[in-house]
Amino acid sequence: MRKLEVDKILEKNGWSKNKIVGILQDIQDSYSYLPEDILIYISEKLNIPLSQIYSISTFYRAFSLKPKGKYRIKVCLGTACHVRGGYMIAEFLKNKFGILPGETTEDGLFSFDTVNCLGACAIGPIVVINEKYYGQMDVRKTEKIIKGLENEKNKQF
């Protein structure tokens, strides 16, 4: 039952209203997005207006109201990555998947986000796929990795 899991998260954060951002982080970590029913549940449990939770959920980039794909690709657009051509990787993925940053492919396999600096600038441009960092990337290397992931999926079926 989801409520139990959510209660655990609320317990961990001391059922504290002030910790709402942290609570939402934990929910995001557990579900890879913020499910609406859970947000309503938290609003009732902690007596925080739903509007405030919605406001926070859409303000911070860490949160998503939609489920993310199996492979979550983040392209760093920090300055160091930008001057080394990181934006081209983002451009390429837009074309490749036909989606905008923040969206997920229809088959649910890939979601793609841009981030404003991951702080690993020395090895930029950086691409992160499910928490694994890839340094010194370019369009070609990105394409290869994506192809690999697509093949992996085909193997499974």
- Token pair, residue 124, equals 């930029």
Asked if residues 69 and 37 have their Cβ atoms less than 8 Å apart, the reply is: no
Checking 150-157 for CB contacts under 8 A at 24+ apart, the result is 150/109, 153/70, 153/109
CB nearer to another protein: give 9 or 20.
20
Which amino acid type is present at position 115? V
CB of 83 vs another protein, minimal distance in Å: 5
CB of 138 vs another protein, minimal distance in Å: 7
CB of 22 vs another protein, minimal distance in Å: 6
CA–CA distance, 90 with 74 (Å, rounded to integer): 9
Asked if residues 27 and 34 have their Cβ atoms less than 8 Å apart, the reply is: yes
CB nearer to another protein: give 46 or 109.
46
Residues at the site binding another protein, with contacts judged by CB under 8 A: 16-22, 24-25, 36, 39, 49-56, 58-63, 65, 77-80, 82-85, 88, 91-92, 95-96, 115-124, 126, 131, 133-135, 138-140, 142-143
CA–CA distance, 59 with 27 (Å, rounded to integer): 16
CB nearer to another protein: give 28 or 109.
28
CB nearer to another protein: give 4 or 122.
122
CB of 56 vs another protein, minimal distance in Å: 6
